[in-house]
Amino acid sequence: MASPRLETYCCPNRDAATQLVIDFQPEVFCGVCIGSTSVSLLLTILQLLPKKGQSLRKMPRASSSSTILLLISICDVLGGLGMIFRSSVWLGFPGFIANISVANRTDVWPSAFCVGSAMWIQLLYSAGFWWLFCYAVDSYLVVRRSAGLSTIVLYHMMTWGLAVMLCVEGIALLYYPSLSSCENGLEHAIPHYITTYAPLLLVLVVNPILFRRTVSAVASLLKGRQGIYTENERRLGTEIQIRFFKIMLVFVICWSSNIINESLLFYLEMQPDINEMALKNIRSAALITWIIMGVLNPMQGFLFTLAFYGWTGCSVDLKWRKTEIPWESMSSSTVGENAYPSPVNYQSNMHDSKKIPSTDSQQTDEAISMLSEGNTSGDDRLTRSSPIYQGW
């Protein structure tokens, strides 16, 4: 799992709260992390692989939103691999990990592994948080027709730049003046915790606001398309709203235990003696949420693919051919001429037998299709029946 306590443990003079959770059934905890992460990785990869029976159509132009969804999954997969590697070493080489102590100042490899693996996990999951924030921003800008595929470069700069900067800054303050002699005190640990949880809290607070504004903007687009708001448009807007709700639900389920656990451990750190009987319930709650984190954090990757694309099935098609892949557009609601008949200009001449496409309507259709991209459930059915995607 991803927790700033993993970096804190690398300090020889670690605090008592960190020592409490790290020493609690380490074999069981590492086994839980390996099992949960392995299941999540296998199911995530299964979700993303091309499936048999998909229509062989020309590859659609990838939107920035579909690219962001893929990058979120990649961050989860790479972060999960780091968790498996770290937990496997802890299980297989307990003597190697035990060398991270105050007395041992000669062997630097245990400390290097401790810091390196912890930074890898934190960096990848932090980048995933920033990409999720970018997805909410991009969804809103697409509906407002202020974003496109070119903005993905800006998202890359913001995501990786902020993730690396915050990770390095937090680690530098935590291990000041050196890893072998970390300064004891909350003034060095708090900045590290802030840099770790800042992107997580940003997603929890800002993304629901952006998603809500996007849903409202979608409703306005659908109404403005023909001046009416039919049942099909209402259902399409509801589908997009449900998709955003699923994304936030997965995020809250997977990471709320981290916030609870960190609050409990921080409270224990403030106490003169964490082993007091009066703090027994607090210690028990901290240990329980610690194990829950090991289960839920790695499952984010698979649960996100369910929220993004739905269940894509088990019929994997490993033949090398140019076919539509899940993260580009799992449904038929794609951007471009291969999706549905282009929307028409309803103000065209009644005597003209040819329908003239409306540029504004086409932009509206592209914005809606980008938001519904990847859904295999009801979006395809809705968009087929919606007047937005029909010529009448």
CA distance 322 to 342: 24
Residue 52 has pLDDT above 50, yes or no: yes
Locus of tokens 């009987």: 277
Q: Which amino acid does the sequence have at 244?
A: F
For the ranges 84-88, 229-233, 347-351, the maximum mean pLDDT occurs at: 84-88
User: Averaging pLDDT over each range in 2-6, 95-99, 105-109, 266-270, which range is the top one?
Assistant: 266-270
Give the Cα separation of 54 and 229 in Å (integer): 32
Token reading at 176:
């000041």
Query: What b/e readout covers 280-298, taking b as 16+ CB neighbours within 10 angstroms?
Result: eebbeebbebbbbbbbbbb
Q: State how far the Cα of 4 lies from the Cα of 6, in Å rounded to an integer.
A: 5
Tokens 């892949």 found at: 325
Q: Indicate whether 327 pLDDT > 60.
A: no
Confidence at residue 298, expressed as pLDDT on a 0 to 100 scale: 94
DSSP structure class, residue 260: H
pLDDT tens, 109-121? Answer: 888 888 899 999 9
More confident residue, 221 or 248: 248
- State the pLDDT at residue 331: 37
In angstroms, the CA 100 to CA 203 distance is 34
Calpha distance 266→288 (Å, rounded): 15
> What local confidence, expressed as pLDDT, does residue 181 receive?
66
Confidence of residue 246 (pLDDT cuts 50, 70, 90): very high
Rounded Cα–Cα distance for residues 308 and 330 (Å) = 9
- High-pLDDT (> 70) share of the chain, %: 71
- Read off the pLDDT of residues 185-202 as tens digits, 9 standing for 90 and up: 667 778 888 899 999 999
Percent of the chain with pLDDT over 90: 40
Q: What is the mean pLDDT of residues 69-94?
A: 93
Which residue in 148, 136, 124, 59 sits closest to 363, CA to CA? 148
d(CA 61, CA 39): 32
Residue 225: the pLDDT is: 63
| Residue-level pLDDT at 338 | 37
Return the amino acid letter for 246.
K
71: Cα within 13 Å, side-chain hemisphere: 23
Q: Which residue has the tokens 């070119």?
A: 150
The predicted-structure confidence for 263-280, as pLDDT tens digits, reads as follows 999 899 888 889 899 999
Mean of pLDDT values over 46-75: 75
The domains of the chain, with CATH numbers, are 4-53+62-308 (1.20.1070.10)
Asked if 76 and 44 touch (Cβ cutoff 8 Å), the reply is: yes
pLDDT bin (cut points 50, 70, 90) of residue 123 is very high
Residue 14 has pLDDT above 50, yes or no: yes
* Residue 82 confidence (pLDDT): 94
SS3 call for 344: strand
CA distances from 329 to 58, 145, 167, 369 (A): 12, 20, 33, 9
Query: How would you classify residue 310: left for phi > 0, otherwise alpha for psi between -120 and 50, otherwise beta?
Result: left
188 versus 165: the higher-pLDDT residue is: 165
| Mean pLDDT estimate for the chain | 78
